[in-house]
Structure 1
Amino acid sequence: MGSFCAFALISCGLALLSPGGQAQQAGAVTPEESPAISLQHCSKERGCEQEQASLVLDANWRWVHNVGGYTNCYDSKGWNQGFCPDMETCKRNCALEGVNSEAYKTSYGVQTVPDGVELKFMTPGGNVGSRLYVTDGHDAYKMFKLLNREFTLDVDVSTLECGLNGAVYFVEMDEMGGKGKEASNTAGAKYGTGYCDAQCPREKFDRDESNGICCVEMDIWEANKQATAFTPHPCSTVGPTRCTGIDCGFGEGDARYQGLCDKDGCDSNAYRMGAKSYYGDGPQFQVDSSKPMTVVTQFLTSNGADDGDLVEIRRLYLQDGKLIANAVVNSSEIPTMSALSGEDSITDGLCDAQKRAFGNVDSHQAKGGLRSMGEALRRGMVLSLSLWDDYATQMRWLDSTYPVGASPETPGVARGPCDGQSSSPDYVRKHHADAYVRYTSIKYGEIGTTFSQPEGRRLESTVHV
């Protein structure tokens, strides 16, 4: 399941804008003051060197108003027909506004912390969730090229209950956010335009709901206290690609598998793979989500060099002085996966076996599998940091039983221990409004350079319980 299949947008009366980044002029009311963030770029030769970057709020959360005025182009009642009788007129009449440093914190719940950022789920003004992108500090997104590299960060999901998702992922957005490629887009990456992902999200400015925009997506971290997953979503695209109807995977039946992207992806979820005591809230779990942890993701190639094909995505954790291997397939829980018992990385072989064992459509291989995913990692992808809830499925695809109504005894249906009843946006907004996630110590670089194995410790293997 890809990120943001039904993103919970803001409900504070600000206008909504299209995730595809169409048609945005830069407003003139508030200068953009994106929060600064430090990254570390690591190599065997030079060690880890600090880089300065910025975080920019996605266009969906920003105020969109008439050019030269202060009237919303879109509010809780829908589009202002005076400004937006059609998409082209809306492009000419509406502007996308900047966010100052105080509004990032108070209006959107985005607050810098040492070496990173904290995202609050809700703010007193009514904002819900956020989605940020890393920029180069100027007017372009930072492009991460991670083939034959690793990506590491510290995460704290200790307040994220069932139904919430703190997500860190890469998408193959345009480096400039569409600026320079779409004549009407003068806002660009500086204002968070140009979003796309493997779900081929619909564009708000486009009244035709059969249209969307697709691109390759690599979910590094989707998690709350109860469950976590990392998932490649290859596509038969290069960069953001506009789609219509079946090419977007829109429609009934198996339409989602006929589009340009692998919407389901090949997920590594410990609970779903039978390792139910691996990740969770408390010291009884191997990875204790009540405490911060370091998450390492390695993208390994066929020849160990930059010109090889992606053949394995490996996950490691560091917590409490221990280096912990990823959960392995537990064939005692899922006998249909006995051939892969003990496997702990995402490979094409594991993806194929998982799809067969769970009775799922193998769209992953149809879209090129890991080799296709690796080509996007070679070209460069944009980093997104986010926190969201889910009106479409109540996040069941991550932390509960999914599809809804299926027996949890069926292999692949149980993805986490949540009951689904306490995961609806209405419930989590009422009971967990003070939730937050922290992302800190972001590093990337050559394999083995972004973390140190604790002295006197060896890599721990997962023990099935």
Structure 2
Amino acid sequence: MHALATITLALAAVVAAQKVGNLVPEQHPQLSWQKCRISSNGTTSCSTIDAEVVLDAEWRWLRNANSISNCYTGNQWDVAQCNTTASCTSTCALEGADAQSYRDGYGITTTGGNTLSQKFVTHAAFSFNVNSRVFLLEPGETNRYQTFVLMGSELAFDVELSSVECAINSALYFVAMEPDGGMARYPTNEAGASVVTQFGEDNVKQFFIQDGKRIETPAASYPGFPDTSGLSLDYCKSLPTNFQDAEYFAQVGGYARHNEALRRPMILTMSISNDHWANNLWLDSTFPPDRAGLPGAERGPCPSWGNGPAPQEVERYYPNAKVAWSNIRFGPIGTTV
């Protein structure tokens, strides 16, 4: 049985014949969501989909397939176990996670059927975990991710992040991956797969609902930007010039490629994490730090901490941070709220 259905495609592509461990049985946390639709008479309705989530391979125990020795510890491969792609492929196995592992080892729990909580730091009897990322599975499937086509649709969800502090990123987002985690493309891979955002062809809009009131995302106030909110062609054209950035968006295909991506199936992902590269300054502080005062550098009110706090310091400052996602709804624009 392919118990570990949802190894990230990045790993599946590198370790093309990844082995599955047999010491810990995989038990996915259950999480329901709602699929919304418009009927022929114009009314909207939503039905509950009983599904599950699965932990990203990056957080799993990767061990010698013939022992309990780690192949990977912290951020380093154990060269005594394997030192090439081929040797790691043939030597190492990716282990499962049971209900206790998800709860006590990774800080991932579900409550009420439709709420997923993720702790930033989790201490267990013999382990210590920081960060987590999970993917939504198709209902009744252990080997396939749930896919969503975003064009013409909207996503709505509730989020509780009052304990998520500076330098911690709690994120619900979509990624492009194969629904089976690459098992078809890599047949030797045994280990194969309330905020409202509206994905329109001309504009991607986001708004919030708090205490029953709709709160629109304001338009950019800096001169040179469109006077409407949302991600649009005009906004993307204005960004590099106004913020003195390189024209990366156009270089990779621009808005046409963006819309092309919205028409492809995407996988829903939920995570909480610190940042070993830029300390999440790009999210909530000044970034790059040496551009303080320049347009686009102020990303949020958090302190810059010099060049940012070391990830270990963030873990020490905010060990109780956690995020809870609930009431996830998806359907045509105008159906989820």
> Out of 58, 61, 75, which is 1:60 matched to?
58
Counterpart residue type for residue 63 of structure 1:
W
How far apart are residue 439 of structure 1 and its match? Answer: 0.7
Query: Aligned residue for 2:102?
Result: 104
Query: Aligned residue for 2:252?
Result: 367
Q: How far apart are the structure 2 equivalents of 1:299 and 1:18? A: 25
Decide whether the 8 Å contact of 2:62 with 2:72 is kept in 1. Answer: yes
> Out of 137, 158, 162, which is 2:166 matched to?
162
Task: Check 1:426–1:74 CA distance in 2 against 1; reply closer, same or farther (3 A cut).
Answer: closer
Task: Please state if 1:416 is matched with 2:307.
Answer: no
Counterpart residue type for residue 437 of structure 1:
V
> Out of 204, 216, 233, which is 1:313 matched to?
204
Task: Please state if 1:20 is matched with 2:19.
Answer: no
Q: How far apart are the structure 1 equivalents of 2:323 and 2:309? A: 17
Query: Aligned residue for 2:70?
Result: 72
Decide whether the 8 Å contact of 1:394 with 1:424 is kept in 2. Answer: yes
Aligned length: 316
Task: Check 1:77–1:60 CA distance in 2 against 1; reply closer, same or farther (3 A cut).
Answer: closer
Task: Please state if 1:406 is matched with 2:291.
Answer: yes
How far apart are residue 83 of structure 1 and its match? Answer: 3.2
Task: Please state if 1:178 is matched with 2:182.
Answer: yes
Task: Check 1:320–1:424 CA distance in 2 against 1; reply closer, same or farther (3 A cut).
Answer: farther
Decide whether the 8 Å contact of 2:37 with 2:331 is kept in 1. Answer: yes
Return 5+ residue gaps in structure 1 as ranges: 1-16, 190-293, 301-309, 452-465
Per the alignment, in what secondary structure is the counterpart of residue 387 of structure 1?
strand
Query: Aligned residue for 1:37?
Result: 31
Return 5+ residue gaps in structure 2 as ranges: 1-7
Decide whether the 8 Å contact of 2:154 with 2:336 is kept in 1. Answer: yes
Per the alignment, in what secondary structure is the counterpart of residue 20 of structure 1?
helix
Counterpart residue type for residue 303 of structure 2:
D
Q: How far apart are the structure 1 equivalents of 2:106 and 2:159? A: 20
> Out of 132, 135, 143, which is 1:133 matched to?
135
Alignment of 1:37-436 (within 5 A): 37-45=31-39, 47-76=45-74, 78-114=76-112, 115-125=114-124, 126-137=128-139, 138=141, 139-189=143-193, 294-300=194-200, 310-330=201-221, 334-335=222-223, 337=224, 340=226, 342-407=227-292, 409-421=293-305, 423-436=309-322
How far apart are residue 325 of structure 1 and its match? Answer: 1.1
1:311-359 Cα distance to aligned partner (Å, 9 max, x none): 21011110011111112111xxx33x2x52x321110101111221001
Counterpart residue type for residue 101 of structure 1:
A
Q: How far apart are the structure 2 equivalents of 1:84 and 1:18? A: 21
Q: How far apart are the structure 1 equivalents of 2:250 and 2:232? A: 11
Say which structure is richer in strand: 2
**Aligned-pair Cα RMSD in Å:** 1.9
Q: How far apart are the structure 1 equivalents of 2:323 and 2:276? A: 20
Task: Check 1:25–1:73 CA distance in 2 against 1; reply closer, same or farther (3 A cut).
Answer: same
How far apart are residue 18 of structure 1 and its match? Answer: 8.8
Q: How far apart are the structure 1 equivalents of 2:75 and 2:284? A: 33
Per the alignment, in what secondary structure is the counterpart of residue 324 of structure 2?
strand
> What TM-score comes out, normalization by structure 2 length?
0.89
Task: Check 1:362–1:41 CA distance in 2 against 1; reply closer, same or farther (3 A cut).
Answer: same
Decide whether the 8 Å contact of 2:243 with 2:295 is kept in 1. Answer: yes
1:70-101 Cα distance to aligned partner (Å, 9 max, x none): 11112248433343131112101111110001
Identity %: 34
How far apart are residue 117 of structure 1 and its match? Answer: 0.2
How far apart are residue 102 of structure 1 and its match? Answer: 1.0
Query: Aligned residue for 1:440?
Result: 326
